[in-house]
């Protein structure tokens, strides 16, 4: 049975999520405001300036963990046995549900967080100028550093989305544990591949080369590797999340 | 409208909960789905909604499998689960965020039913008792005007006045295009509400007849001749279940019928089938 994808249902579902989670969302943003403000202010205490890279560091430090926590709270209704029957019985297709969740946890969250972080950084900068005589250096979001941070979030977030849908208890801990185990496996895979392809060069013939191989394996970022891991941690996890949604029983 | 064909279901590492279930639900009826605790009533209701997937066989609604959970299908099915949690928003906000998904939703009907249940739209759902929350969900479910309304133990958590209020509301809500399934183990709560009885026992449907068929074939009352009695509950004033011969039509005692079917399944089914009216409503 082919189901028609309806953007209007997605829009209504996004609205529904935002209304249901407005408490969580506003608390999260409030926490973000305080953290970004304090980090920016403390940063200016030492060198009397808030450099762009420093701002992006603070941005990433708050944006990434809060976004992942927000992802978990978005799937609370899906995972709770007392709410998921009503949730899954709503006339919305699995793809529409997933697109709505993804839009809220990435697009809406990123836009809101970026604007808030920028405004708070400017506010902190004004405080810094008044309190410490800091340099006036307006932070901006139009840079590759910002795009890189958002890209990392976009690739990591689906993993946590799958974690939020897969585990019923201790979701965050179990997701981190699974991620850690997966990373170890990939490290080992990289090491084996490195050993296989470089065996003829006798890399293990001398002392210490094994650890060199491990070192190289952990920082293997060939074009093939980037695509391989990019696909695993991004789009593939979204596909997994889709099938988790389709196959969910209450 | 909804058909179950040779349906099997079991939870992981457990005995079969449903075995070879064959059902056909038709519009214009209120079905009472009875069974003892743990007999699979909730499981069957969840399969009908597409929330559980059968291990074998299939369950279709308007010819399409329910487990696909297509929006076109779910727009015409509403489930009131036995256990649920509603979000911490006002009743009005709950209606606002959920009603948009149901094309036939009637706001007028919803707020009318809330008034009937003595609830205010601005009340926060988190401040309501479980029974009041159930009333919100019942009102919402009726107002969705879906063709199939499934209710799993709807009277659990309702006080005595609310139970009669529920019956009144339900009776006024059914029309020819709708089909309502009410699952319960509290048989008396559905008195004068349903027109079709289905009984689950040992993971199978052991009884599936309309009340018309029941009244044609069976008679409920005090027996003058004990030999005619099919089933009797002596401890409860001696009310008995008998084959109807030349007596006037009697009011169906659902509890007696339920207990009678559990004890004399084959005999009662044979009597009803033999009566020859055969056409199941």
ipTM of the complex: 0.87
Among the listed residues A167, A216, A55, the one whose alpha carbon sits nearest the alpha carbon of residue A122: A55
Q: Is residue A110 part of a domain?
A: yes
Q: Is residue A106 part of a domain?
A: yes
- Asked if B63 has any chain A CB less than 8 Å from its own CB, the reply is no
Give B173's pLDDT tier (boundaries 50, 70, 90). confident
Q: What angle do CA B28, B30, B32 make, to 5 degrees?
A: 155
Q: Look at residue B222 and give its three-state secondary structure.
A: strand
Could you tell me the two tokens for B258? 């339920």
Could you tell me the two tokens for A247? 């196959």
Boundaries of domain holding A18: 7-166
Mean residue pLDDT of chain B comes to 89
Which of the pair, B192 or B152, is modelled with greater confidence? B152
Mean pLDDT, residues B149-157: 92
User: What's the confidence (pLDDT) of residue B174?
Assistant: 78
Which of the pair, B16 or B248, is modelled with greater confidence? B16
- Whether B154 has a pLDDT exceeding 80, the answer reads yes
User: What's the confidence (pLDDT) of residue A229?
Assistant: 74
Could you tell me the two tokens for B136? 């919100």
User: What's the confidence (pLDDT) of residue A221?
Assistant: 56
Mean pLDDT, residues B24-48: 92
- Whether A80 has a pLDDT exceeding 60, the answer reads yes
Which of the 8 DSSP states describes residue A108? I
Q: Look at residue A122 and give its three-state secondary structure.
A: helix
Nearest to B64 among A1, A16, A80 (CB): A1
Q: Encode B41-69: b = buried (16+ Cβ within 10 Å), e = exposed.
A: bbbbbbbbbbbbbbeebebbbeeebbbbb
Q: How many CB atoms lie within 10 A of CB A110?
A: 17
Number of residues written out for chain B: 281
Q: List all residues 6 or more positions away from A79 whose beta carbon is below 8 Å from its beta carbon.
A: A164, A165, A167, A168, A171
Mean pLDDT, residues B174-182: 87
B112, B135, B155 from B169: Cα distances, Å: 11, 11, 12
User: What's the confidence (pLDDT) of residue B237?
Assistant: 57
User: What's the confidence (pLDDT) of residue B14?
Assistant: 85
Compute the nearest-CA separation of A21 from chain B (Å). Answer: 9
The yes/no answer on whether domain B2-202 falls in CATH 3.40.50.300 is yes
Quote the percentage of chain B above a pLDDT of 90. 62
Mean pLDDT, residues A135-150: 86
Q: Is residue A52 part of a domain?
A: yes
Q: Where in chain B is the domain with CATH 3.40.50.300?
A: 2-202
pLDDT tens-place string over residues B100-146: 999 999 999 999 999 999 999 999 999 999 999 999 999 999 999 99
Which of the 8 DSSP states describes residue A5? P
Give A203's pLDDT tier (boundaries 50, 70, 90). low
Q: Is residue A120 part of a domain?
A: yes
User: What's the confidence (pLDDT) of residue A88?
Assistant: 95
Q: Which residues of B touch A88 (CB under 8 A)?
A: 50-51, 69
Q: Which of residues 91-110 of A touch B (CB under 8 A)?
A: 91-94, 96
User: What's the confidence (pLDDT) of residue B278?
Assistant: 47
Number of domains in chain A: 1
> Pairing relation of β-strands B2-10 and B16-25?
antiparallel
Q: Is residue A108 part of a domain?
A: yes
- Whether B281 has a pLDDT exceeding 50, the answer reads no
pTM over 0.95: no
Q: List all residues 6 or more positions away from A135 whose beta carbon is below 8 Å from its beta carbon.
A: A48, A49
- Asked if B237 has any chain A CB less than 8 Å from its own CB, the reply is no
Mean pLDDT, residues A176-198: 82
User: What's the confidence (pLDDT) of residue A235?
Assistant: 87
Mean pLDDT, residues B248-274: 89
Q: Encode A178-215: b = buried (16+ Cβ within 10 Å), e = exposed.
A: eeeeeeeebeeebbeebbeeeeeeebeeeeebeeebbe
- Asked if A54 has any chain B CB less than 8 Å from its own CB, the reply is no
Give A161's pLDDT tier (boundaries 50, 70, 90). very high
Compute the nearest-CA separation of B72 from chain A (Å). Answer: 7
- Whether B235 has a pLDDT exceeding 70, the answer reads no
Could you tell me the two tokens for A14? 């996004």
Q: Is residue A184 part of a domain?
A: no
pLDDT tens-place string over residues B219-234: 888 877 766 788 888 6
């Amino acid at each position: 049975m082919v189901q028609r994808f309806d953007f209007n249902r997605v829009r209504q579902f996004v609205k529904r999520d935002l209304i249901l989670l407005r408490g969580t969302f506003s608390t999260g943003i409030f926490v973000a405001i305080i953290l970004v403000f304090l980090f920016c202010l403390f940063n200016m205490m030492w060198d009397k300036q808030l450099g762009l890279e420093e701002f992006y560091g603070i941005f990433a430090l708050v944006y990434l963990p809060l976004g992942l926590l927000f992802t978990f709270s978005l799937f609370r209704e899906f995972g709770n046995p007392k709410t998921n029957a009503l949730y899954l019985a709503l006339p919305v297709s699995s793809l529409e549900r997933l697109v709505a969740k993804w839009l809220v946890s990435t697009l809406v969250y990123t836009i809101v967080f970026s604007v808030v972080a920028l405004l708070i950084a400017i506010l902190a900068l004004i405080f810094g100028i008044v309190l410490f005589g800091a340099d006036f250096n307006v932070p901006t979001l139009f840079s590759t550093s910002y795009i890189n941070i958002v890209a990392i979030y976009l690739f990591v977030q689906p993993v946590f989305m799958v974690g939020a849908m897969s585990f019923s208890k201790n979701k965050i801990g179990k997701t981190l544990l699974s991620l850690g185990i997966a990373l170890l496996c990939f490290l080992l895979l990289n090491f084996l591949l490195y050993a296989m392809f470089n065996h003829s060069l006798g890399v293990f013939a001398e002392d210490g080369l094994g650890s060199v191989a491990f070192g190289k394996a952990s920082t293997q970022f060939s074009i093939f590797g980037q695509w391989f891991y990019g696909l695993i941690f991004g789009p593939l996890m979204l596909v997994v999340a889709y099938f988790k949604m389709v196959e969910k029983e209450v | 409208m909804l058909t179950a064909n040779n349906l099997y279901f079991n939870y992981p590492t457990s005995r079969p909960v449903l075995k070879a279930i064959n059902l056909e639900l038709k519009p214009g009826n209120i079905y009472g789905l009875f069974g003892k605790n743990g007999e699979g009533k909730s499981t069957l209701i969840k399969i009908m909604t597409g929330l559980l997937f059968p291990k074998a066989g299939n369950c279709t609604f308007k010819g399409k499998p329910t487990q696909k959970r297509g929006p076109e299908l779910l727009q015409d099915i509403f489930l009131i689960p036995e256990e649920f949690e509603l979000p911490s928003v006002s009743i009005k906000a709950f209606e606002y965020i959920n009603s948009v998904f149901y094309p036939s939703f009637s706001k007028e009907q919803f707020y009318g039913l809330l008034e009937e249940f003595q609830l205010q739209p601005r009340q926060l759902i988190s401040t309501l008792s479980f029974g009041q929350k159930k009333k919100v969900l019942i009102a919402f479910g009726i107002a969705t005007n879906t063709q199939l309304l499934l209710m799993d133990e709807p009277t659990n958590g309702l006080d005595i006045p609310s139970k009669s209020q529920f019956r009144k509301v339900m009776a006024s809500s059914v029309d020819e295009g709708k089909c309502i399934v009410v699952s319960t183990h509290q048989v008396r709560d559905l008195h004068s509400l349903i027109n079709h009885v289905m009984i689950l026992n040992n993971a199978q449907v052991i009884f599936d007849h309309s009340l018309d068929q029941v009244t044609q074939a069976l008679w409920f009352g005090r027996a003058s001749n004990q030999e005619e009695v099919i089933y009797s509950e002596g401890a409860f004033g001696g009310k008995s279940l008998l084959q109807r011969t030349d007596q006037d039509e009697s009011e169906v005692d659902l509890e007696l019928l339920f207990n009678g079917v559990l004890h004399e399944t084959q005999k009662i089914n044979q009597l009803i089938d033999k009566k020859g009216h055969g056409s199941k409503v």
